[in-house]
Amino acid sequence: MKTPYYAVIFTSKQKENLEGYDQMADAMEALAQQQPGYLGMEHARDQLGITISYWESLEAITRWKENLKHQQAQHLGKEKWYKSYEVRICKVERAYSFGG
């Protein structure tokens, strides 16, 4: 990805009953991929769930946050799946990697 870009870091602690969660997460990732300004997404789930989505601009992030289907999923998340969560938005000025 060409810098600068933005990362939305979503960390969560989940409830015990996650019925329907995986299907909703897959649907939201597919929907995010259709949004203008979307650059990619990464996940890690164990005791703490971490999803990082990457965006071209703050405007693209705002449009994603305001997407009605995304808002419905957020409401269900609060109601059914999450004990707690935190969202951080960061500007990536430089990025580099090794290997694969």
Confidence category of residue 45, pLDDT binned at 50, 70, 90: confident
Q: pLDDT band for position 43 (50/70/90)?
A: very high
pLDDT of 69: 96
Residue 9's pLDDT is what? 98
> Of 6, 67, 9, 66, nearest to 38 (Cα)?
6
pLDDT at 100: 75
Residue 46 has pLDDT above 90, yes or no: no
More confident call, 89 vs 16: 89
Q: What is the mean pLDDT of residues 75-99?
A: 95
Give the per-residue pLDDT at 6. Answer: 98
Among 57, 23, 17, residue whose Cα is nearest residue 37: 57
Q: Tell me, what's the pLDDT at 47?
A: 81
Assigned token pair, 36: 């203008």
**Domain coordinates of the chain in residue numbers?**
5-92
Q: Which CATH number fits domain 5-92: 2.30.110.10, 3.10.310.10, 3.30.70.100, 3.30.70.20?
A: 3.30.70.100
Q: Which two tokens stand for residue 79?
A: 């109601």
Is the pTM higher than 0.85?
Answer: yes
Mean pLDDT of the chain: 95
